[in-house]
Chains A and B, each alone.
Chain A
Amino acid sequence: MSDLPVLLPSAANLLNDAGRQRREGAFRVDLKLWHGVVLVAALAVVLGVAEAAGNAKESPWAVLVNWMPFILWGQEGHWQGFSLNIIISFFAMLIGTVVGAALGLMQVSLLLPVRTGSWIVTQFFRNSPWLVLLFTIMLMLPFEIQIGDTIIPIPDWVKAVIGFSLPVMANISEVVRGAVISLPSGQWESAESLAFTRFQTMWMIILPQCVKRMIPPWMNWYAILAMATPLCSIMGVEESVTFTQQAMSAEGGRPELLAPFYVFLLVIFFIYIYPIARWTVRLERKYSVKI
């Protein structure tokens, strides 16, 4: 703490955080164990309230337990429900990472058209609301394509994967770009003096150093993506929120079931995302670069 009238360390922290948020595109998902405890307690509370309020034809708890397998993994022999949420998030992250990394590297290219083009693409997909992107992809893509003689069906969840991978790709592109430009220019200069081509510099020197810096924000984006997958329920993709709504209407649309079913969803999402969020924080601390 300085005696002088200079801005205190929290100013620098705030600037770093803001810069990091702008580079990576979002706040860190910061879940703690007691959040989960509170959610489970909330579930118990709403079940109790529903019990009291309802017609007691069938206890809300029994109803919830009946529908749990359906909401979690759907019908026999299908990957639906919550398992589909996980599958969608996995594939969307995969595509988003690969394409996003390529886009990010294009953003630091020496060629102006490549740089500008990839910048436009990145900014466009970063600033569009996810819901609108999802709607567009799901309604515009055909449900099957014919290449030569074979017909390849494109199921709804694949369209959802593509729809989610677009904003993820744009944000990963920003992460990669941020990581690349955060390296000291000395690295580039020494590589040049050792006669590395640009490609060799990128592949052998810059990217290996960047990978560590990119992992925490990358995992953060996975957590955000996993939390965003319920958006595709609006298009009828057979994941957990769709199934919850169908279960509620099969139960006659009883309003007292609203709270228990939705809090249950919160609980299962928490159980999935909490370990990822904790691991992100641990990795960030482990890989924080001390100059």
Chain B
Amino acid sequence: MEAFYEWFQQLYDSTGWNFVFMYDEYERDRLLEAMWVTIKLSLSCLVFSLVVGVIGAWAQGAKSAILRNFIYWYIQAFRNTPPLVQILFFYFVIGNLFPTYDAGGYQEQYIGAFGWAVVSLSFFAGAFNVEIFRAGVEAVPTATVEAAQSLGYSRLKAYLYIVLPLAFRVSLPALNNNLVNLVKTTTLAYIIAVPEMMYTANQMWSDNVNVSEMMIVLFFFYVGLVAILVYFMHRWERSMRIPGYGA
């Protein structure tokens, strides 16, 4: 392994191509952590936005008009403002309303920058997911729901066991589009200093003046990540296909 790293040091000395994270341990740790943070951020946002979507779709069909209105305003607000501004708003404005604890001279928030990035991006993607899941839920034939009720399923159980699986399969294509966009949007977390790939690459090229090398790494990372996601997405869609539905 050491020889591998040594080779990059030689590469730098001879050609000037400075892949500093290969031979410098501090930078290598930084970059690996950044990759891990980006993946963690993407996965957390994926999962939470799905949860927000499911709950929101259920709330849209609720009896209470207040709840329905609230979801409507939530969707409008999050769909029509730039996600960058949403992240800043959550971190600086909402963050200040939250309780803090004294951690020796400064107030430590229970939710740090990473947490707020997850919250903000999940609500952003969740707004789109609510619409998607609602359409999916509406697509379930009434005859099926009635059949479930006649078999003694309670409303909640019918939703969980009959409606949701079917709605999910129907919404999958639209959902997958949204999730791929979400992964690309996680680069915005850089504005509130979440140490993900974009932020760390920026720091590294400021410290080491090796912009082009870091660019290459960034490119490969993101294109690779999106390609992997799209690949699994297509496989999932194919395995979840409803016969007779779709082109």
Contacts and interface: CB of A to CB of B under 8 A. Distances in A.
Does chain A touch chain B in the assembled complex, meaning CB atoms less than 8 Å apart? yes
Interface of A: 1-11, 13-15, 17-19, 21-22, 26-27, 30-32, 35, 124, 127-129, 131-132, 135-136, 139-140, 227, 230, 258-259, 262, 266, 269
Contacts of A1: 142
Contacts of A32: 76, 80
Contacts of B246: 15
A8 B143 contact: no
Given A139-B211, A140-B212, A227-B82, A13 B135 contact: yes
B39 interface: no
9 contacts: A14-B174, A17-B174, A27-B128, A127-B222, A127-B230, A129-B187, A139-B212, A140-B215, A262-B88
B227 A14 contact: no
B223 interface: yes
Contact of A127 (B139, B211, B212, B223): B223
B171 interface: yes
Interface string B60-101: 000000000000000010011110110010001100000000
Interface string B174-197: 101100110010010000000000
A7 B136 CA distance: 10
A35 B76 contact: yes
B173 interface: yes
B118 interface: no
B170 interface: yes
Contacts of A3: 142-143
Contact of A8 (B82, B140, B218, B230): B140
Nearest to A139: B211
Which 4 pairs of residues, A with B, have the shortest CB-CB distance? A11-B139, A18-B173, A18-B174, A10-B138
Interface string B196-225: 001000000000000110010011001100
At the interface, is chain B mostly helix, strand, loop or mixed? Answer: helix
A7 B215 contact: no
B165 to A, nearest CB: 13
A6 to B, nearest CB: 6
B215 A8 contact: no
Given A14-B171, A266-B85, A31 B80 contact: yes
Contacts of B3: none
Given A30-B79, A266-B81, A266-B85, A14 B135 contact: yes
A131 B198 contact: yes
B177 A7 contact: no
A22 to B, nearest CB: 6
Interface string B137-173: 0111111100100000000000000000000001101
Residue in A3, A11, A27, A135 whose Cβ sees the most chain B Cβ within 10 Å:
A11
B129 to A, nearest CB: 12
Contact of A4 (B143, B198, B245): B143
Nearest to B216: A136
A98 to B, nearest CB: 25
Interface string B29-60: 00000000000000000000000000000000
B119 interface: no
